[in-house]
């Protein structure tokens, strides 16, 4: 579904940032495993995220940054096009990573933008955004109670592309069970904050299931029903299930076509009143299915 107008339009969104805004899947790959970068890029994800944070041991972070920079630089061959998740604001490595990545963000670089983990402070995001080229995306990853409470402020920072949700760290922060349905309020809050700020619908937290495609699809379907625009993924095996869950079903498409066919005519279909909001929902379903009328 196309991102709503708002901060993105005001910032003059570029093709790279639009790819981030519209991605249904965002696949993490550890920064210290450069042999996986191209495989991740070829796996079919909407966008790849090279991870310098949780997926990398402390003693491997320097090497991970070096590997990411090498993969993103255009003069060394075709660069990998990817977001990079840096270490949190205030951590020992954050400033050095930002400096190195922005220095490498020359025209032709594969860097699509920055994912900021444990995002809580809109002021810190605003300062970072001011230092970034406008063509780069900025994705705050909300993983704490403070981040959720401040979600609208984070989403309203000019140039923020979309929010993302880190459920595992959030559940730990509030001492809650990590199961999907215990976090309903938080999911709804991030979707509402994103919509109110006029940015793209957020990315949901990744499923911890890798091989059980049914459970991955159930988690993705839940996110879609809450209004998320996509889902973070931690393994290529999750991609097909997530894409399938976010795509309209054949029944959805047939219903939408029947609604559009009755537009301006019948007042109801199968006992359902057809008014403007119902028609608009049908058009969005067809847009997501690539069957715009």
| Per-residue pLDDT reduced to its tens digit, 136-153 | 999 999 999 999 999 999
Q: Which residues are CB-neighbours of 174 under 8 A, at least 6 positions away?
A: 145
Res 168: pLDDT: 94
Alpha-helical (H) ranges within the chain are 7-11, 15-22, 37-41, 61-72, 94-104, 122-131, 145-149, 151-155, 167-174, 184-197, 213-226, 239-246, 250-261, 276-288
Expressed as residue numbers, the domain containing 159 is 7-247
Instruction: Kindly state whether residue 2 falls inside one of the protein's structural domains.
Output: no
- Cβ neighbour number for residue 132 with a 10 Å cutoff: 18
When pLDDT is averaged across residues 256-278 and rounded to a whole number, the result is 65
The verdict on 74 and 197 lying in the same domain is yes
Structural domain total, the chain: 2
On whether both 266 and 237 belong to a single domain, the answer is no
Band of residue 237 on the pLDDT scale cut at 50, 70, 90: very high
Residues 115 and 134 in one domain: yes
State how far the Cα of 20 lies from the Cα of 26, in Å rounded to an integer: 8
pLDDT of 130:
96
What CATH number did the domain enclosing 101 receive? 3.20.20.60
Coil, helix or strand for 248?
Answer: coil
Highest mean pLDDT among 10-19, 82-91, 267-276: 82-91
Residues 259 and 224 in one domain: no
**CA–CA distance, 62 with 217 (Å, rounded to integer):** 36
Q: What is the DSSP code string of 123-143? A: HHHHHHHHHS-TTSEEEEEE-
CB within 8 Å of 90: residues ≥ 6 apart = none
1 part of a folded domain: no
Strand pairing category for 268-269 and 272-273:
antiparallel
Mean pLDDT, all residues of the chain: 88
């Amino acid at each position: 579904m196309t991102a709503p107008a708002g901060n993105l339009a005001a910032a003059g969104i570029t093709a790279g940032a639009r790819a981030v805004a519209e991605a249904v899947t965002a696949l993490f790959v550890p920064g210290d495993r450069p042999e996986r970068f191209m495989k991740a890029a070829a796996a079919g994800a909407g966008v790849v995220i090279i991870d310098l944070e949780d997926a990398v041991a402390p003693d491997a972070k320097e090497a991970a940054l070096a590997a990411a920079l090498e993969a993103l630089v255009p003069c060394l061959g075709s660069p990998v096009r990817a977001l990079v998740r840096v270490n949190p604001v205030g951590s020992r490595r954050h400033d050095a990573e930002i400096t190195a990545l922005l220095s490498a963000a020359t025209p032709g670089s594969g860097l699509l933008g920055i994912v900021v983990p444990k995002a809580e402070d809109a002021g810190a995001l605003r300062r970072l955004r001011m230092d970034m080229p406008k063509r780069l995306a900025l994705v705050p990853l909300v993983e704490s109670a403070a981040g959720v409470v401040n979600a609208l402020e984070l989403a309203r920072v000019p140039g923020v592309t979309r929010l993302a949700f880190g459920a595992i760290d959030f559940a730990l922060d509030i001492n809650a069970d990590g199961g999907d349905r215990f976090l309903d309020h938080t999911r709804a809050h991030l979707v509402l904050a994103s919509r109110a700020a006029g940015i793209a619908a957020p990315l949901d937290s990744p499923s911890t299931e890798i091989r059980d495609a049914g459970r991955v699809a159930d988690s993705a379907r839940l996110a879609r029903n809450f209004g998320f625009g996509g889902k973070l993924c931690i393994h290529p095996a999750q991609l097909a299930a997530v894409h399938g869950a976010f795509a309209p079903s054949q029944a959805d498409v047939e219903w939408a076509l029947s609604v559009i066919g009755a537009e301006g005519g019948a007042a109801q279909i199968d006992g359902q009143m057809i008014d403007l909001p119902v028609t608009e929902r049908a058009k969005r379903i067809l847009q997501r299915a690539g069957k715009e009328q």
